[in-house]
Amino acid sequence: MRGVLIAASLALTAALTGAMAAGPAAAQEGGPLAILRAADTNGDGQLTKAEARAAREAGFNRADANGDGFVTQEERTARSAGKGKGRGGAGGGGDTDGDGKISRAEFMDARYPAFERFDANNNDVLDAGELEALRNMAGRRRQGTP
């Protein structure tokens, strides 16, 4: 279960960072640029931790199909089936209390590994250079290169 959420976080990271180079056509098609534009709420081409948190919150809300404040295994399975892949939201945390479902608090309180790794100046903003470094790493992972 935690692996699915980590994969979802990496998928969003790849989408957000790939969006910088995707161009305007991707936005028209709803591709990665559209995802970045949605997360980059002030449109400055940078991603703040606050914007990432808001995107994570929106991801939780999408995954919580019945709106009860929890994402169950059934909701994750249904979402994965609808997407064709295991992308269940915008990253976030796993079932830390072992009750078989992920609460909003568990999801929102998880670490932000992309920021922790790529925010070189620790200012809670991924600027263009930091996003480029993250995009390069995601591209290498897709190609199977460390």
pLDDT, tens digit, 9 for 90 and up, residues 68-79: 999 999 998 887
- Two tokens, residue 17: 């960072």
Q: Is the pLDDT of residue 125 over 70?
A: yes
Residue 77 phi/psi, 5° resolution?
-65, -45
Element (H, E) at 72: strand 70-72
- Is the pTM higher than 0.85? The answer reads no
